[in-house]
C-alpha cells in the first residue's frame, strides 16, 4: 500500500471509532433514561423505519404493554411518554446499523480497488465480525429484561459494554498502525519497562470499565453517594453479606461499587507516576503528547465520576462519564502504540 492508501484507510477507521464512541454515549443515555426495553423486537432491516402513523404507534405501544417493565414499573405511562423512551432506543439501534454500513461499504470499495494489503484483510474482517457480535449481544441483553424482571442482566450488559471497547480498541490500533510505520528494532530495557507498564495500565483501565458495567447493571451508583468514603467506610461492612461469597462481586452494590472505585483510585495514583516516567524517558514527542492527554483525560473522567456519584447519577453526567472512559482508553491506546513503533510517521513524512 502507498502512503495515500494507508491514510485513507486510517481515516475511515478513525471515523468508525468516533461512531463507536457516539453509540457508547447514546447507549449510556438510553440506559439512564430506562429506554432500552421500549422496543421489544429485533428487526435488523424493517426496524430502521419507526412508526409513521397513529395506528403503528398504537401497535408498538401495545407490544410494550405486554412487557414486565410496563406492567410493573410504567403502567401509568401514556403514549407520548412512551415515544420519548422509544426514540432513545431507536436511535441507539439505528446508529449501530449505521456503523455496520459505514464499515462494510468502504471495506468492499478498498478491497475491490486493491487498496488493502493482504495481511490487513483478516484483521478488518475480524473487526467486522466483532461488530456483528456486539450487535447480537445487544439484543441478547435486551431479551433478559423482557421475561420476568424488568432489568437487563448485569452480566450481559457488561459483556455488551466490553465488546464495544474491544471494537474501539481494535479499530484504533489498526488505524494507528497504518499511520506509523513499524520497524524491527531492539528496545532498550527502559523502553521495555515503559511498554509493560503501559500495557498493565490498559488492563487496569479495562478492569475499571468492566466493574463500571456491573455498577450500571445493578444501579449501584444510586447507593453510597459519598466521597471519598462509602457512607463513612473504606469498604462497607455489608460488602460480603450474600452467600456464596463470590456472588457479592456481581450482585452486592457495596462491593461492586468498591471494586469500581478501587480501579479508579489505582489509575489516579499510577497514571501521574507513569506520566512522569514518560517525561523523563527518551521517547518520541508524540508519546509525550499522548501521556499528557491521558493525564488530562483521566483527571476529567475522575471528576465526572465523583460528580456523578455525589449527585446520584443524573443522566447528563452519567452519559458523560461513560463517554469519558472511552476517551481515557483512546489516549492509552495511542500512548501504548507510540511506545512500540519507530519515530517515522506517515502523517508527518
Does residue 342 carry a pLDDT above 60? Answer: no
Which of 37-46, 77-86, 164-173, 201-210 is predicted least confidently? 37-46
In whole numbers, what is the pLDDT of the chain averaged over residues?
Answer: 92
For residues 6-33, average pLDDT: 96
Does residue 183 carry a pLDDT above 70? Answer: no
For residues 160-180, average pLDDT: 95
Model pLDDT for residues 282-313, shown as the tens digit of each residue:
898 999 999 999 999 999 999 999 999 999 99
pLDDT at 53: 94
Q: What is the residue-wise DSSP string for 246-267?
A: GGHHHH-HHHHHHHHHHHHHHH
User: Would you say the C-alpha torsion 43, 48, 54, 58 has a positive or negative sign?
Assistant: positive
Per-residue pLDDT band for 46 (boundaries 50, 70, 90) equals low
For residues 68-73, average pLDDT: 92
For residues 142-163, average pLDDT: 92
The SS3 assignment for 230 reads strand
Residue ranges for the known binding site for heme are 260, 321
Record the pTM. Answer: 0.93
Separation between Cα atoms, residue 117 and residue 9, nearest integer Å: 11
What angle (nearest 5°) sits at the alpha carbon of residue 32, between those of residues 327 and 241? 95
For residues 168-187, average pLDDT: 83
For the chain, what is the radius of gyration of the CA atoms? 22
Model pLDDT for residues 190-242, shown as the tens digit of each residue:
899 999 999 999 999 999 999 999 999 999 999 999 999 999 999 999 999 99
Per-residue pLDDT band for 48 (boundaries 50, 70, 90) equals confident
* 187 dihedral zone (left: phi>0; alpha: psi -120 to 50; beta): beta
Separation between Cα atoms, residue 28 and residue 332, nearest integer Å: 22
Percentage of the chain modeled with pLDDT above 90: 86
Partners of residue 345 on adjacent β-strands: 180
Residue ranges for the known binding site are 260, 321
pLDDT at 307: 97
Per-residue pLDDT band for 265 (boundaries 50, 70, 90) equals very high
C-alpha cell at 309: 456519584
Does residue 1 carry a pLDDT above 80? Answer: no
Per-residue pLDDT band for 345 (boundaries 50, 70, 90) equals very low
From the list 260, 259, 231, 261, the residue with the least C-alpha distance to 246 is 259
Separation between Cα atoms, residue 92 and residue 141, nearest integer Å: 14
pLDDT at 188: 84
* 338 dihedral zone (left: phi>0; alpha: psi -120 to 50; beta): alpha
Does residue 343 carry a pLDDT above 70? Answer: no
Does residue 93 carry a pLDDT above 70? Answer: yes
Separation between Cα atoms, residue 91 and residue 83, nearest integer Å: 12
pLDDT at 312: 95
Does residue 172 carry a pLDDT above 70? Answer: yes
Amino acid at each position: 500500500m502507498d502512503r495515500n492508501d494507508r491514510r485513507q484507510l486510517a481515516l475511515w477507521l478513525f471515523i468508525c471509532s468516533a461512531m463507536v464512541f457516539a453509540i457508547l454515549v447514546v447507549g449510556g443515555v438510553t440506559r439512564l433514561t430506562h429506554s432500552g426495553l421500549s422496543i421489544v423486537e429485533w428487526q435488523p432491516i424493517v426496524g430502521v423505519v419507526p412508526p409513521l402513523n397513529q395506528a403503528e404507534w398504537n401497535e408498538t405501544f401495545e407490544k410494550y404493554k405486554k412487557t414486565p417493565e410496563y406492567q410493573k414499573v410504567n403502567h401509568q405511562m401514556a403514549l407520548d411518554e412512551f415515544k420519548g423512551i422509544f426514540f432513545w432506543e431507536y436511535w441507539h439501534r439505528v446508529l449501530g446499523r449505521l456503523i455496520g454500513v459505514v464499515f462494510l461499504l468502504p471495506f468492499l470499495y478498498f478491497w475491490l480497488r486493491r487498496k488493502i494489503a493482504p495481511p490487513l484483510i483478516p484483521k478488518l474482517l475480524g473487526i467486522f465480525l466483532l461488530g456483528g457480535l456486539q450487535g447480537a449481544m445487544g439484543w441478547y441483553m435486551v431479551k433478559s429484561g423482557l421475561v420476568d424482571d424488568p432489568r437487563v442482566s448485569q452480566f450481559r450488559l457488561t459483556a455488551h459494554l466490553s465488546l464495544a471497547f474491544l471494537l474501539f480498541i481494535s479499530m484504533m490500533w489498526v488505524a494507528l498502525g497504518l499511520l506509523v510505520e513499524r520497524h524491527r528494532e531492539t528496545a532498550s530495557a527502559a523502553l521495555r519497562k515503559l511498554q509493560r507498564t503501559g500495557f498493565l495500565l490498559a488492563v487496569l483501565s479495562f478492569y475499571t470499565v468492566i466493574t463500571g458495567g456491573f455498577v450500571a447493571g445493578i444501579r449501584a451508583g444510586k447507593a453510597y453517594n459519598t466521597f471519598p468514603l462509602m457512607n463513612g467506610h473504606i469498604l462497607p461492612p455489608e460488602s460480603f453479606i450474600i452467600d456464596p461469597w463470590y456472588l457479592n462481586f456481581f450482585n452486592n452494590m457495596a462491593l461492586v461499587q468498591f471494586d469500581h472505585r478501587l480501579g479508579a483510585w489505582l489509575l489516579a495514583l499510577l497514571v501521574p507516576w507513569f506520566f512522569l516516567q514518560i517525561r523523563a524517558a527518551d521517547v518520541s514527542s508524540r508519546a509525550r503528547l499522548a501521556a499528557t492527554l491521558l493525564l488530562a483525560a483521566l483527571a476529567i473522567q475522575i471528576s465526572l465520576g465523583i460528580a456523578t456519584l455525589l449527585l446520584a447519577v443524573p443522566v447528563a453526567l452519567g452519559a458523560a462519564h461513560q463517554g469519558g472512559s472511552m476517551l481515557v482508553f483512546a489516549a492509552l491506546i495511542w500512548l501504548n502504540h507510540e511506545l512500540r513503533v519507530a519515530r517515522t510517521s506517515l502523517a508527518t513524512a
